[in-house]
């Protein structure tokens, strides 16, 4: 790193701390009241960030997508990606399917896609001012949160993770969120690199209470916590000007012309035969980029470039599977999964099956279930999980969920 960019990093750090303090200072006040100069700044930022579209599309769900030239997408505003060469396809096409083509996969229903972007463009969700304000003041992923997870024990390096997860729609309040997800991580706690993906219900990010595909990446403490949800927030001049606000920043390279983060997943109600959605992230053997591939058809959505990571640049030390739920401080926490403590039945409990890791050959394989660590960070009457190991028809399987409530 050149001395100049190092100085820039320091500046970012300082600005970031200021904005964190600002955030905490703003707690308890009306978050939606934005001072005039900040308002102007937000306008400026929106202008930068919502690139000139080749075309715009409004979906049935009311989301607006801009078709942006693939080489000009927000990711390339990231200072470390200035010279990045875009990868259009993974070098190894993963042939292996998790699910045999059986009728209960989501692929049998129509997937939610953004149709109509011209060639050479990709759909990028348009960011609203309100979302920027939410992102800035409510600092979504840093809200108080709880998790339950089953973790592979790091006896060696991992190159990705994959699972099939039942589609559930936990009921959350406006300021809460609830997920079912996979984590791919490396690095010591204070410098943890993490890719998280799966489904989430998250009104402040998605603008509704639907279950949607999400993905995010973070690099703890290094300089900033960078997050990519399906909203991409951009700073054209890197982080020089105002800092990164500790939140949504560019990094994910969208490659697929129709499927996106934020894809709506139709959930089945409690007690009904579930539908499933497949999620995987794996490190490309040649480029080292972390590809996000989803759905029954192995749709290649895009990737997190190797350059943006430190500890995840080469491999992961942990792959975790489970759920996260959280919300604003001082309130009961929301349900996870179906909102009941787990039970051995995929109609009544959010279920993760066909759990796999990726080995150094780039293959999806089972992991050693005798070494799995089960973790939680609150009372087991709030959230819990049941890990059953390898099941004949469903591969490595777990059940998780809980009502939340008053969870310390
Ligand atoms: C989501 O549901 C909660 C609780 O019913 C409601 O308060 C909130 O307005 C809903 N949010 C949206 C965006 O529909
Ligand atoms: C995994 O990544 C770490 C951190 O980058 C590195 O030190 C280690 O050598 C890598 N292991 C393998 C097997 O590549
Ligand atoms: C986590 O779960 C275990 C049992 O699975 C329980 O004994 C422990 O108390 C839980 N952790 C916390 C912090 O409550």
Which pLDDT does position 215 carry in this prediction?
A: 86
Q: Is residue 407 part of a domain?
A: no
Per-residue model confidence (pLDDT) at position 86: 96
Could you tell me if the CB of 379 is within 6 A of ligand 3? yes
Residue nearest to atom 13 of ligand 2 (CA): 157
Alpha helices per DSSP H over 27-72: 36-49
At 34 the pLDDT is 60
For every residue of 150-167, DSSP letters joined together read: EE---SS-B-EEEEEEE-
Q: Check if the beta carbon of residue 15 is closer than 8 Å to that of residue 242.
A: yes
> Is the CB of 174 within 6 Å of ligand 1?
yes
Domain extent at residue 123? 3-401
CB 26 within 8 A of CB 138: no
Closest listed ligand to the CA of 373: 3
What is the per-residue pLDDT across 182-194, written as a single tens digit (0 to 9) for each? Answer: 999 998 877 788 8
321 in any annotated domain: yes
Q: Residue 183: beta bridge partners? A: 196, 320
The answer to the question of residue 36 being in a domain is yes
Q: Which residues contact 49 (CB under 8 A, 6 or more apart)?
A: 74, 127, 232, 233, 234, 235, 236
For residue 157, give the ligand nearest its CA: 2
> How many angstroms is it from 222 CA to the middle of ligand 3?
31
Domain count across the chain: 1
Ligand 2 centroid vs 153 CA: distance in angstroms? 15
pLDDT score, position 217: 79
41 lines ligand 1 (CB under 6 A): no
- Atom 6 in ligand 3: residue holding the nearest Cα: 380
* Residues of the chain falling short of pLDDT 70: 1-38, 40-42, 44-50, 93-109, 131-143, 154-155, 220-249
Question: Would you say residue 146 lies in a domain?
Answer: yes
The pLDDT score that the predictor gives to residue 127 is: 74
Residue 337 belongs to a domain: yes
408 within a domain of the structure (yes/no): no
Torsion of CA 61, 62, 67, 72, to 10 degrees: -100
For 129, the enclosing helix (H) or strand (E) is helix 129-138
Q: Is residue 406 part of a domain?
A: no
pLDDT at 233: 35
Pocket test for ligand 1, best of 62, 174, 335 (most atoms within 8 A of CB): 174
Its pTM stands at: 0.83
344 vs 45: CA distance, rounded Å: 48
Specify the residue for token string 């919300």. Answer: 327
Cα–Cα distance for residue pair 166/357, rounded to 1 Å: 19
Residue 92 is assigned to a structural domain of this protein: yes
DSSP bridge partners of 401: 384
Residue identifier of the C-alpha nearest atom 2 of ligand 1: 173
């Amino acid at each position: 790193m050149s001395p100049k960019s190092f100085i820039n990093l320091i500046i970012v750090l300082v600005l970031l701390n200021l904005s964190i303090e600002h955030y905490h200072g703003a707690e308890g006040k009306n978050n939606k009241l934005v001072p005039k100069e900040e308002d102007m700044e937000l306008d400026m930022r929106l202008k930068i960030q919502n690139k000139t579209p080749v075309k715009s599309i409004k979906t049935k769900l009311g989301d607006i997508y801009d078709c942006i030239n693939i080489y000009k997408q927000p990711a390339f505003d990231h200072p470390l990606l200035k010279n990045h060469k875009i990868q259009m396809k993974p070098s190894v096409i993963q042939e292996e399917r998790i699910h045999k083509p059986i009728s209960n996969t989501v692929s049998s229903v129509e997937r939610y896609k953004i149709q109509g972007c011209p060639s050479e463009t990709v759909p990028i969700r348009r960011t609203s001012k309100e979302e920027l304000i939410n992102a800035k003041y409510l600092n979504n992923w840093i809200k108080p949160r709880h998790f339950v997870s089953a973790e592979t024990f790091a006896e060696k390096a991992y190159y990705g993770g994959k699972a099939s997860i039942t589609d559930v729609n936990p009921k959350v309040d406006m300021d809460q969120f609830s997920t079912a997800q996979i984590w791919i991580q490396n690095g010591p706690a204070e410098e943890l690199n993490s890719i998280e993906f799966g489904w989430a219900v998250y009104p402040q990010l998605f603008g509704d209470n639907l279950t949607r595909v999400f993905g995010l990446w973070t690099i703890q403490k290094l300089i900033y916590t960078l997050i990519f949800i399906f909203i991409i927030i951009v700073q054209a001049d890197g982080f020089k000007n105002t800092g990164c606000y500790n939140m949504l920043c560019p990094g994910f390279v969208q490659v697929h012309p129709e499927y996106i983060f934020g894809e709506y997943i139709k959930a089945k109600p409690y007690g009904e035969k579930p539908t499933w959605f497949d999620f995987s992230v794996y490190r490309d053997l040649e480029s080292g980029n972390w590809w996000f591939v989803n759905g029954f058809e192995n749709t290649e959505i895009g990737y997190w470039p190797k350059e943006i990571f430190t500890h995840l640049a080469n491999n992961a030390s942990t792959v975790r599977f489970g759920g996260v739920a959280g919300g604003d401080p001082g309130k009961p926490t929301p349900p996870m999964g179906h909102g009941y403590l787990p039970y051995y039945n995929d109609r009544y409990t959010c279920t993760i099956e066909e759990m796999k890791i990726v080995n150094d050959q780039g293959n999806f394989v089972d992991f050693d279930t005798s070494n799995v660590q089960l973790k939680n960070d609150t009372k087991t009457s709030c959230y819990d999980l049941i890990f059953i190991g390898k099941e004949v028809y469903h591969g490595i399987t777990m059940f998780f969920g809980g009502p939340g409530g008053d969870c310390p």
